[in-house]
Chains A and B, each alone.
Chain A
Amino acid sequence: MSLEEKLQMGPKPGLAYPLQVIYCGNCTMPIEYCEYYPEYDKCKQWLERNLPDEFEKVKIGDEANESGGGEEEKKRQKRGGKGMIKTKKKEDGPKQVCVSRAPRGKKKSVTVVTGLSSFDIDLKVAAKFFGTRFACGSSVTGDDEIVIQGDVKDDLFDVIPEKWPEIDEDLIEDLGDQKR
């Protein structure tokens, strides 16, 4: 495609919009911009794992660059300060869901679920789901906490892996009874 054509405005014939652009899973940018990301190596790893075809293309391009531009690289003065700032990665802490039971009044109890957000689950949706599933009240009460009214702790061990397959039953921990 010639340059003039590339910058031309207006929809191009023969293309179906919306276009699908492939984004890198590591740096979230279109993969052609990965090389400008500070953690390019990780992007490459991601590409290799997820999109082997694209990875081949990038590799070929890289080799071509290296053979020609090695010398130039040394001469050029490095400018631009810090370069691009890395995106803050979510802390990959222990991924775990904790469930516990807390008393409510004399003979009733509620179930407290924490840790769902470490699996990138929308808490609001999860709370709604628990509510309909157990026919009870359920609400998001904290940063990463859902309270389900009624004692449904034992059921949760089946329900959570069923709804979100990425959570294994072993990743759910039972904290037992808690004081309010």
Chain B
Amino acid sequence: MFKKFDERESISGVLQLKSSVQKGIRSKLVDSYPHLEGFIDNILPKKDALRIVKCHDHIEIIVNSVGELLFFRHREGQWMPTLRLFHKYPFFLPMQQVDKGAIRFVLSGANIMCPGLTSPGAKMTEVPKDTVVAIMAEGKQHALAIGKTTLSTEDIAKINKGIGVENCHYLNDGLWQMKPVK
């Protein structure tokens, strides 16, 4: 999603959000990530003026008043956390672990293929299709990508071929490189 993203070219505007919309986003986030509940006040303080950065290709990014990038989404999809945020609160997404061999491909933006999730070094937590997941790696502590499952974990194990998780945001992509928005 952010492979060819460039903060200078891809941003079309920054919008201040209405407080009613902010409330909507907060409740939506808590709905989709129940583990976030105790921490949502730290991430999105109630009084904070949130902004939304509109980018090309129907991408929107939530930015707090300091300018940190928090969540992003594509069209009307689910809000997904940026990796920087997820590194701070690494518990609110289901995590899938890929084996060592897959790391370099994931880091260059490849989607996660089923065999990388089913081999001995890998580990899956059970999720249905179209869930936002964090991609961890064998022997590493931090997440290296945020993705969305295209198959349920059951199917991934059964079919074991093709794309299992769509790579939405990975280390060193355009979004990761993006500086805080002023």
Q: Does B93 contact A (CB under 8 A)?
A: yes
Which residues, 9 to 44 on A, are CB-close (under 8 Å) to B? 9-12, 17-21, 27-30, 32-33, 36-37
Q: Does A3 contact B (CB under 8 A)?
A: yes
Considering only CB atoms, which chain B residue lies closest to A21 in the complex? Answer: B87
Question: What's the minimum C-beta distance from A36 to chain B, rounded to whole angstroms?
Answer: 5
Determine whether the beta carbon of A29 is less than 8 Å from that of B88: no
Stretch at the interface among A83-91, A153-161, A162-170: A83-91
Question: What's the minimum C-beta distance from A81 to chain B, rounded to whole angstroms?
Answer: 8
Size class of the A contact interface (CB-based, 8 Å) = 20 to 34
Determine whether the beta carbon of B177 is less than 8 Å from that of A36: no
A59 to B108, CA, bound (A): 25
Determine whether the beta carbon of B176 is less than 8 Å from that of A10: no
CB neighbours (8 Å) of A21 from chain B are 87-88, 142
A32 to B125, CA, bound (A): 23
Which residues, 109 to 124 on A, are CB-close (under 8 Å) to B? 122, 124
Considering only CB atoms, which chain B residue lies closest to A82 in the complex? Answer: B108
A10 to B33, CA, bound (A): 10
In-complex Cβ contact of A84 among B90, B92, B107 (8 A)? B107
Given contacts A32-B140, A32-B141, A33-B144, contact A11 B39 (CB under 8 A): yes
Size class of the B contact interface (CB-based, 8 Å) = 20 to 34
Q: Does B20 contact A (CB under 8 A)?
A: no
B82-120 near A? 1/0 per residue, CB < 8 Å: 000001111111111100000111011000000000000
Q: Does B136 contact A (CB under 8 A)?
A: yes
Determine whether the beta carbon of A17 is less than 8 Å from that of B89: yes
CB neighbours (8 Å) of B104 from chain A are 36, 80, 83-84
Q: Does A6 contact B (CB under 8 A)?
A: yes
A3 to B141, CA, bound (A): 11
Given contacts A33-B144, A85-B108, contact A17 B39 (CB under 8 A): yes
Given contacts A32-B141, A87-B172, contact A7 B107 (CB under 8 A): no
CB neighbours (8 Å) of A29 from chain B are 171-172
Determine whether the beta carbon of A3 is less than 8 Å from that of B123: yes
A177 to B92, CA, bound (A): 59
Please give 5 more A-B residue pairs, beta carbons under 8 A apart, in addition to A28-B172, A87-B172: A7-B94, A7-B95, A7-B123, A10-B35, A28-B176
Please, could you name 29 A-B residue pairs with CB atoms under 8 Å apart, sorted by A? A3-B123, A6-B136, A7-B96, A7-B97, A9-B92, A9-B94, A11-B35, A18-B89, A19-B88, A19-B90, A20-B88, A21-B87, A21-B142, A27-B172, A28-B172, A28-B176, A30-B87, A33-B107, A33-B171, A36-B103, A36-B104, A36-B107, A80-B104, A80-B108, A84-B172, A85-B108, A87-B177, A122-B182, A124-B182
